[in-house]
């Protein structure tokens, strides 16, 4: 695909069965180039889960006949689609076409130099409101994922609480004094015999509220509890999750889901216990800047992670700059916002509550302000980007 994108004559959209669409290669390349010079969204993908909840069904106006929706990929270019509007018709294609064809404009030179043609930031939703706990899990350390799977970076991540119900919790880090051998033995016993793993004997359970931010560097044992609406901000390699315990639960297909205690035992960072988590991973908010009608806070991530996050609260216009790297943002408070170019380099772009959007590196300066029903109200965004400077 990378080889043919610059020279292909025609491109087909076959997403809707029986209704194929075709555009010329020139039209496609023009569309991708325009997209890489302005803010945009990818096509979100929603899916049910064994632990899925009800929040997205209501807020995102999804199919009410479904039992639940647990996942939403809202910025995973390797898995999401992209719409181009061509002569009034929506033409759908894989959004990694944009990453491959407009790498430098989209990612920026420093990010491209580090990640090549990988889009390194992922935003997704995990909905357990009215659902259950996620599987207790851990992600591989960088060295382990390199040695074992040949992948050069790992899934560092964080949980931002977009919303939370009564009793919401996040499991994060180990209890003080946990014996590694005893815990692994208890996990294996639960897996082999069908007995229950006493999670709270070994893992911290933190009360969670709306707008909390939990940082999860690779190797930290974790999962969201029930009654949480999580905006997960993470690095992209999403298929390397080592599930350790799944709460005596079957998958949607009625079969047990894969458990990876052996892999997990090699990557759990046993020193990340209660004090470490409290001091370094829970709600590390720090003011960074302010202006007329806005304040900026640093919310993470941990120094071991390559993603930086900044939260803005505002009633007026907030100045932003991509800093030479791609920016990914989500509207965490406010019904409607407008993203604009100070130099009119792109058309104003309107976004809504809980929507994720991408600002390509080449955009440079842009502003965000309340719009429509949100004018005069306090609104919020969270922004992620790759650290490229000290």
Give the helix/strand (H/E) hosting 298. Answer: strand 294-300
Identify the pLDDT of residue 153.
84
Q: Say if residue 106's pLDDT is above 60.
A: yes
Torsion angles phi and psi, residue 280, rounded to 5: -120, -15
Phi and psi dihedrals of 388, rounded to 5?
A: -125, -5
**pLDDT given for residue 152 in this prediction:** 84
pLDDT band at residue 78 under the 50/70/90 scheme: confident
Residue 213 pLDDT greater than 70, yes or no: yes
Contact (CB, 8 A) for 5 and 29: yes
Q: Average pLDDT, stretch 216-235?
A: 96
Q: Is the pTM of this model over 0.85?
A: yes
Residue 230 to residue 234: CA distance in whole angstroms: 12
Whether the per-residue pLDDT at 1 is higher than 80: the answer is yes
User: Average pLDDT in the 351-358 region?
Assistant: 98
Question: What pLDDT is attached to residue 390?
Answer: 52
The pLDDT value given to residue 119? 95
pLDDT in tens, 318-327: 999 999 999 9
pLDDT single digits (tens) 80-100:
999 999 999 999 999 999 999
Asked if pLDDT for residue 297 goes beyond 90, the answer is yes
Report d(CA 300, CA 93) in Å as an integer: 33
Query: Taking residues 265-293, what's their average pLDDT?
Result: 96
**Which fold, 45-82+102-280?**
Jelly Rolls (2.60.120)
pLDDT at residue number 150: 87
User: Angle 118-124-211 (CA atoms, 0-180°, nearest 5)?
Assistant: 125
The predicted structure's pLDDT at residue 238 = 57
Tell me which residue of 112, 74, 108, 114 sits closest to 306, measured CA to CA.
114
Query: Would you state the pLDDT for residue 239?
Result: 66
Q: Where in the chain is the domain with CATH 2.60.120.10?
A: 45-82+102-280, 286-386
- Edge to edge, the sheet with strand 222-224 lists 203-207, 169-174, 222-224, 136-138, 242-245
pLDDT at 270 over 90: yes
pLDDT beyond 60 at 360: yes
| Helices of type H across the chain | 25-35, 55-59, 96-101, 103-107, 109-115, 142-149, 180-193, 199-202, 261-267, 274-280
Confidence tier at 301 by pLDDT (50, 70, 90): confident
Residues near 244 by beta carbon (within 8 Å), at least 6 away in sequence: 135, 136, 137, 138, 187, 221, 259, 260, 261, 264
pLDDT score of 155 more than 90:
no
The domain covering 286-386 belongs, at the CATH homologous superfamily level, to Jelly Rolls (2.60.120.10)
Tell me the C-alpha to C-alpha distance, in Å, between residue 70 and each of 128, 352, 386.
Answer: 7, 20, 27
């Amino acid at each position: 695909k990378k080889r043919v994108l610059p020279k292909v004559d025609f491109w087909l959209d076959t997403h809707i069965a029986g209704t194929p669409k075709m555009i010329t290669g020139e039209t496609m390349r023009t569309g991708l180039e325009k997209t890489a010079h302005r803010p945009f969204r990818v096509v979100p993908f929603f899916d049910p889960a064994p632990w899925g909840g009800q929040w997205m069904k209501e807020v995102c106006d999804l199919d009410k006949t479904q039992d639940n929706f647990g996942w939403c990929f809202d910025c995973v270019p390797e898995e999401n689609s992209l719409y181009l509007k061509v002569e009034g018709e929506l033409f759908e294609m894989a959004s990694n076409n944009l990453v491959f064809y407009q790498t430098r404009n989209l990612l920026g030179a420093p990010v491209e130099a580090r990640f090549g043609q990988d889009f390194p930031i992922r935003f997704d939703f995990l909905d357990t409101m009215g659902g259950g706990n996620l599987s207790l899990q851990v992600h591989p350390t960088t060295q382990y994922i390199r040695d074992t799977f040949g992948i050069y970076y790992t899934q560092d991540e964080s949980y931002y609480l977009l919303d939370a119900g009564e009793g919401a919790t996040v499991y994060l880090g180990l209890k003080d004094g946990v014996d590694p051998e005893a815990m692994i033995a208890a996990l294996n016993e639960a897996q082999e015999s069908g007995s229950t793993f006493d999670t709270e004997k070994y893992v911290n359970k933190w009360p969670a509220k709306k707008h909390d931010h939990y940082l999860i560097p690779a190797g930290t044992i974790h999962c969201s509890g029930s009654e949480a609406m999580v905006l997960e901000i993470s690095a992209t390699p999403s298929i390397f999750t080592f599930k350790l315990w799944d709460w005596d639960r079957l998958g949607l297909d009625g079969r047990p889901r894969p458990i990876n205690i052996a892999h997990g035992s090699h990557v759990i960072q046993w020193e990340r216990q209660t004090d470490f988590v409290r001091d370094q991973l829970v709600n590390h908010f720090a003011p960074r800047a302010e202006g007329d009608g806005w304040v900026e806070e640093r919310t993470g991530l941990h120094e071991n992670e390559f993603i930086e996050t900044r939260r803005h609260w505002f009633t007026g216009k907030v100045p932003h700059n991509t800093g030479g790297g791609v920016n990914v943002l989500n509207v965490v408070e406010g019904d409607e916002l407008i993203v604009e170019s100070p130099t009119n380099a792109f058309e104003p772009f309107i976004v809504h509550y809980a929507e994720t959007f991408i600002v390509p590196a080449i955009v440079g300066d842009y502003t965000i302000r309340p719009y429509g029903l949100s004018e005069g109200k306090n609104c919020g965004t969270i922004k992620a980007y790759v650290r490229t400077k000290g």
